[in-house]
Structure 1
Amino acid sequence: MADPASYRPQTGEIPTNPGVYRFRDQHGRVIYVGKAKSLRSRLNSYFANPAGLLPKTHAMVHAAASVEWTVVGSELESLQLEYTWIKEFKPRFNVMFRDDKTYPYLAVTMGEKFPRVQVLRGERRKGTRYFGPYTAGAIRETMDTLLRVFPVRSCSPGVLKRAQASGRPCLLGYIDKCAAPCVGRVTPEEHRALAEDFCAFMGGEATRFINRLEKDMAAAVAELDYEKAARLRDDIIALRKVFERNAVVLSEDTDADIFALHEDELEASVQVFHVRGGRVRGQRGWVVEKVEDSTTPELIEHLLQQVYGDDTESQGRIPREVLVPENPSNHAELVQWLSGMRGAKVDIRVPQRGDKAALMGTVRENAEQALKLHKTRRAGDLTVRSQALQELQEALDLPVALLRIECFDISHVQGTNVVASMVVVEDGLPKKSDYRKFSITGAAATDDTAAMHDVLTRRFRHYLQDKVAQVPKSGEVPKSGEVPKSGEVPTLGEAADAVADADSGLAPAPVPEGKAKFAYPPNLVVVDGGKPQVNAAARALAELGINDVYVVGLAKRLEEVWLPDSDFPVILPRTSQGLYLLQRIRDEAHRFAISFHRQKRGKAMTISALDGVPGLGESKRKALVAHFGSLKKIKAATAVELAEARGIGPALAEAVVRHFNEAPAEEEAAPVINMTTGEILES
């Protein structure tokens, strides 16, 4: 028996969406299919404490060797997919639906004189309309709720005959859950009209009936018949609860294969749902390595050729419709080829709207989840991480093992709010506690190369400073994690002198107290960019006298690796684990830089002329604006008048007056507007 811990997925890998999951044994056979409102919560319940599970569940998780899941759009979709796969795979640990029965349907026997609403399973009967399927509990609740609004007969033929013979209705007739056509309370035509309304509601026309009940409720209120209005209100609530469209089950004549892709520079995740008779009959998925410079239409063309290329089994496997996210290259020839193998016309198209487009979205979400899971597992595998680090070291011809890698990225919008990020990877895994953010101003913000030079200089100045610093207190660490600007740390000469003093046995130069943020130098620095950025970073290290840290750059367009003072880049194989590691680090640095840039840009949009007043926080600033009405009046007010505002004392009022008296005339501010909400904060 397998240990559940050996195949337990990481909690972060499991999505929180509703979906269906499958446990497989060591031979790949499906042994259990289940559904969940939240896949993460349900799957974690199997692994959190296996010893506390029920005997059957305990045996199932120990007999399994792997678990996989499929994300769907709603709980009802997960029910449909669970039913389909239980019938398809017949898992030995699924007891409820493994026999010849099917999920229960809500059926209306329109072929009878007095149509009857009932729960049916198994083969469909002529003259009967079916709605569902449902779970056993849900269908009884649905039926009971709808009979109060549409009192259609639900009794058996025997009960009907006895009521007709005795002239008295059954219990349901007395409690108004049946119109009692058996004793003539309604005519057969009126009762059939009730059954037609029941079918119309279940067929998707809920809005019409709800609107009609709302009008009747309004009329009852106008006539002061509040008891009737309350009953109608309850009926409306009941109908809204019952009605839920089924997005997985398409029309019964739908036979289609629905493909979706999610891709990055190196790999693509492909998912396909096989829909037959309007139901999802199966699912397949692949993660494939992309050919260099391949486009999405070319990828789809190769995919369809691979899936349908088996001549011995193609006829019968190829559906009438093949739905794809983009039309493949050589579309007309591919349609002709598939039609010839199927012996009938095949339509390859992109769904634009409706249920098929909605189902395409579900398939695409599964593809995205599959690629994310694939990358997470590959990045978390110790063997793969070691291989990636070794490949990178050999490809770059570095004499040291890459125990620590730091990556830098610059982010700005047309030269404004320029920021940089530093992310750290140790032993192939991110170390988020060492991530840092840099604000770049002045001449360094003029272009990317100058910004990169400034950031590397500041980062390794801190390294030189921390190299000779005593262990500082932690109270001075900025809450935001932003690195102080270059003027706030010792100069290059001071840092170099401190290092020289330390090497000669002298006491270290005094440095500001604070956490040693850059105590460990990296073995490799990765910059986001090509030759200019790499040379700027190498120049910064050379100016600081640091020669034991290596620098490379990763250019986005062709994923080329650049070395300092090199005229030609290093081209790593596109399937290289080392290249994948560099890409992952570069993308993480880009994400971190973008988030800081957006944060800084948001703050810049709400800058205030009162921000520079010592001791004047946001709440007191708003109190001043609320009291005086405008910034102009605040500037003209005396200290005594300012002190009349709530929360403003004499000392703070004097500070406000002093702030505006010392400010240059050109700082006459325009209205302060929050660019996100449009709210005028000051004017």
Structure 2
Amino acid sequence: MADPASYRPQTGEIPTNPGVYRFRDPNGRIIYVGKAKNLRARLNSYFANPGGLLPKTHAMVFAASSVEWTVVGSELESLQLEYTWIKEFKPRFNVVLRDDKTYPYLAVTMGEKYPRVQVLRGERRKGTRYFGPYTAGAIRETMDTLLRVFPVRSCSAGVLKRAQASGRPCLLGYIDKCAAPCVGRVTPEEHRALAEDFCAFMGGEAKKFISRLEKDMAAAVAELDYERAARLRDDIIALRKVFERNAVVLAEDTNADIFALHEDELEAAVQVFHIRGGRVRGQRGWVVDKVEDSTTPDLVEHLLQQVYGEDGESEGRIPREVLVPEAPSNSEDLALWLGGLRGARVDIRVPQRGDKAALMSTVRENAEQALKLHKSRRAGDLTNRSLALQELQEALDLPVALLRIECFDVSHVQGTNVVASMVVVEDGLPKKSDYRKFAVTGPAAADDTAAMHDVLTRRFRHYLQDKTAQVEAAELPGHQAAVNAMAEAAVLDTTTPVPRAKFAYPPNLVVVDGGKPQVNAAARALSDLGIDDVYVVGLAKRLEEVWLPDSDFPVILPRTSEGLYLLQRIRDEAHRFAISFHRQKRGKAMTLSALDSVPGLGESKRKALLAEFGSVKKIKAATATELTAAKGIGPSLAEAIVTHFTGADGAGDAVAPAVNMTTGEILET
């Protein structure tokens, strides 16, 4: 690695004009290209304090051995030159888009004898027509609705062959959501005509089909054929529902591309919907490795450069409007550059309200789903998991392999309903059967550090108790013979689950969600219990730094480290698990029931009563003898319940129904 001081240019040598600069490695290869309004100010930021740079920028500066620049006449020229050099040299430290072909489309396999309607992802297939894109839920609803009007085959090839061999259609054929060409109800030509109509409707000719059905319905009414008219009416309603959702999403003269991002500290997922004639005509997606000091406007700028710079002019892909989540700092110059490629004006805007803003939120949701899918696939890769565990062990200088990792997170709202979660990862994969929830009350709920200390103490106290019980059991006479007998029985009995101690297996590493205070609280809990073979780290969200106990400085893992990805996934899973428990607990705390005020009636007995009688109304009407039929309800408690609801004089006191205190909804009557 080169020392940046060895190739740093003199400050007076660097012009203050706008321009483009290039960093080269010792072999002369360009590893980074950037542009600046003021070259001197920008380049000096790399060399003033190299040790304080963010990790990826730090790696780039130390990997380079020289820097050079080119002065241009304006920011627009610098934008054009930057793009040209990035395209030509493909520097490894610049943002690079990676295609993400995961979004579902409604596809019709017109190349088959009996065209099939199905949901497809990934690469496009020859002879198949695609419509969309859709969200995961909406595509199934759209397909189900349209098959009512256009009963095109949707079964797999195996189901089709079995139906042809048996002479009986599948379930969809019986419920009229398939024309059943497999058994000859329609000819191949008639079925293909249905598929053509399906494609025509999805291709934008919906109004024609709806108008035709309306005329047929009017004719059926005129002929007093009301049953057929009712069926046609239902078909029209179904088609209108699909048409309103999928056909015209914006004004019919709108041609625009809508970009949205969903990002975390290391990566960003990008989605774009191509709107032509007011309809969604296409979609693309990418995953981007972020540069630490890049902002969302920077990402948008690089995104537009790469998406439109490749083939925008040759394919006419640049529309009149480009809608983005945040405007780039040089949006005017970028619009001029895109206008030059298009040969006409291009507007770059951020939608604030109305239909375009609503569609932007849909695109953003797609980007969020794409990033989740990308991360889950990465987590499932065996090679990456092994590399992550190895990198983490080396970075933290741990003497043991990380076979089991436990992560703890505390969740609350302004100190109320404090809960904590424990998630477990073994061999880099989540072990959900070992997840645990903790309710935190009393002094431990005072703050996050007290809660973390309490939770760790409780978790490892259980571990010590289980360990002590096992040791004491092993010292009893005949213990080994009993263990051998159980082992032999286990070999014969493969259906009965083997009992296990609740907290018997300790982790090699404990991860807490937080920085130095939370880590020290967790380490203190282990120390108080005399446990010295479990290591503790914390992952702080702000800069994703890793904290060790009693350390003044964090460990900074490389931004592309598989070990850091693993820690992030564990931390995010613990946060998700804690949030879900907190919401559940908060919901219960906000629910008031008429049974809550009955003396001596606890939660389990309330549940038993509701399970037996079904509602509070029936409980109030039951006699004491009938109440004893519920589990755990004795004669005295039954009399107390009757007295509570009817009053000592039998007049019948009014009792409020169960009410959700958040929404005011009556839960039990």
- The TM-score with structure 1 as length reference comes to 0.58
Q: 1:445-489, CA deviations, whole angstroms, 9 ceiling, x for partnerless residues?
A: 22211111111111111111222335xxxxxxxxxxxxxxxxxxx
Match of 1:148 in 2: 216
The structure-2 alpha-carbon separation of the partners of 1:536 and 1:353, relative to structure 1 and needing over 3 Å to count, comes to closer
Distance 1:423 1:568 in 2: 26
Contact 2:102–2:370 (Cα < 8 Å) also in 1:
no
DSSP 3-state at the match of 1:31: coil
Q: 1:20-62, CA deviations, whole angstroms, 9 ceiling, x for partnerless residues?
A: 52564xxxx74353669549999xxx9x99877769xxxxxxx
Q: 1:626-669, CA deviations, whole angstroms, 9 ceiling, x for partnerless residues?
A: 6999xxxxxxxxxxx9779897763224677999xxxxxxxxx9
Q: 1:587-617, CA deviations, whole angstroms, 9 ceiling, x for partnerless residues?
A: 1111111111222222223462337436842
1:404-423 aligned at under 5 Å gives the runs: 404-423=404-423
Contact 1:261–1:270 (Cα < 8 Å) also in 2:
yes
DSSP 3-state at the match of 1:345: coil
Q: Highest CA radius of gyration, 1 or 2?
A: 1
Contact 1:248–1:279 (Cα < 8 Å) also in 2:
yes
Distance 1:230 1:30 in 2: 41
Match of 1:321 in 2: 321
Does structure 1 residue 600 correspond to structure 2 residue 585? yes
The structure-2 alpha-carbon separation of the partners of 1:414 and 1:651, relative to structure 1 and needing over 3 Å to count, comes to same
Cα distance, 1:374 vs. partner? 1.1
1:232-631 aligned at under 5 Å gives the runs: 237=234, 239-243=236-240, 244-245=243-244, 247-248=246-247, 253-276=253-276, 282-309=282-309, 313=313, 316-352=316-352, 356-357=356-357, 359-470=359-470, 515-606=500-591, 608-610=596-598, 612-613=600-601, 616-618=605-607, 620=609
Contact 2:312–2:342 (Cα < 8 Å) also in 1:
no
Distance 2:639 2:252 in 1: 79
Distance 1:531 1:321 in 2: 48
Distance 2:216 2:160 in 1: 41
Q: 5+ unaligned residues in a row in structure 1: which ranges?
A: 1-12, 56-94, 107-118, 122-130, 152-171, 178-226, 471-497, 630-640, 660-668
DSSP 3-state at the match of 2:412: strand
Distance 1:23 1:566 in 2: 47
**Structure 1 range deviating more: 581-590 or 260-269:** 260-269
DSSP 3-state at the match of 1:558: coil
Match of 2:44 in 1: none
Does structure 1 residue 674 correspond to structure 2 residue 660? yes
Cα distance, 1:433 vs. partner? 0.2
Distance 1:310 1:503 in 2: 75
The structure-2 alpha-carbon separation of the partners of 1:616 and 1:297, relative to structure 1 and needing over 3 Å to count, comes to same
Cα distance, 1:342 vs. partner? 3.3
Distance 1:643 1:564 in 2: 62
Distance 1:361 1:39 in 2: 20
**Structure 1 range deviating more: 527-536 or 334-343:** 334-343
Which of 640, 648, 652 is matched with 2:637 structurally?
Answer: 652
DSSP 3-state at the match of 1:401: coil
DSSP 3-state at the match of 2:319: coil
Match of 1:183 in 2: none
**Structure 1 range deviating more: 610-619 or 436-445:** 610-619
Distance 2:141 2:214 in 1: 31
1:76-115 aligned at under 5 Å gives the runs: none
Q: How many residues align?
A: 476
Cα distance, 1:517 vs. partner? 0.9
Cα distance, 1:401 vs. partner? 1.0
Q: Percent identity?
A: 66
The structure-2 alpha-carbon separation of the partners of 1:527 and 1:681, relative to structure 1 and needing over 3 Å to count, comes to same
Q: 5+ unaligned residues in a row in structure 2: which ranges?
A: 1-100, 108-118, 132-138, 145-152, 163-187, 481-497, 645-654
The structure-2 alpha-carbon separation of the partners of 1:285 and 1:653, relative to structure 1 and needing over 3 Å to count, comes to closer
- Letter matched to residue 527 of structure 1: V
Distance 2:102 2:310 in 1: 34
Q: 1:168-205, CA deviations, whole angstroms, 9 ceiling, x for partnerless residues?
A: xxxx9xx969xxxxxxxxxxxxxxxxxxxxxxxxxxxx
Cα distance, 1:260 vs. partner? 2.0
Does structure 1 residue 21 correspond to structure 2 residue 120? yes
Contact 2:627–2:638 (Cα < 8 Å) also in 1:
no
- Letter matched to residue 660 of structure 2: N
Cα distance, 1:620 vs. partner? 4.6
Measured on the aligned residues, the alpha-carbon RMSD in Å equals 5.1
Match of 1:86 in 2: none
The structure-2 alpha-carbon separation of the partners of 1:604 and 1:370, relative to structure 1 and needing over 3 Å to count, comes to closer
The structure-2 alpha-carbon separation of the partners of 1:442 and 1:256, relative to structure 1 and needing over 3 Å to count, comes to closer
Cα distance, 1:265 vs. partner? 2.4
Cα distance, 1:322 vs. partner? 0.9
- Letter matched to residue 539 of structure 2: L
Q: 1:549-570, CA deviations, whole angstroms, 9 ceiling, x for partnerless residues?
A: 1000011112111000100011
Cα distance, 1:407 vs. partner? 0.3
Q: 1:53-100, CA deviations, whole angstroms, 9 ceiling, x for partnerless residues?
A: 769xxxxxxxxxxxxxxxxxxxxxxxxxxxxxxxxxxxxxxx99xx9x
Higher relative contact order (CA 8 A, sep 6+): 2
- The TM-score with structure 2 as length reference comes to 0.59
- Letter matched to residue 586 of structure 1: R
DSSP 3-state at the match of 1:609: coil
- Letter matched to residue 332 of structure 1: E
Distance 1:388 1:41 in 2: 41
Cα distance, 1:234 vs. partner? 7.0
Contact 1:146–1:238 (Cα < 8 Å) also in 2:
no
Cα distance, 1:299 vs. partner? 1.6
Distance 1:679 1:105 in 2: 46
Does structure 1 residue 33 correspond to structure 2 residue 128? yes
Contact 1:388–1:577 (Cα < 8 Å) also in 2:
yes
Contact 2:103–2:122 (Cα < 8 Å) also in 1:
no
DSSP 3-state at the match of 1:386: helix
The structure-2 alpha-carbon separation of the partners of 1:351 and 1:464, relative to structure 1 and needing over 3 Å to count, comes to same
Distance 2:460 2:643 in 1: 40
Cα distance, 1:240 vs. partner? 2.9
- Letter matched to residue 445 of structure 2: A
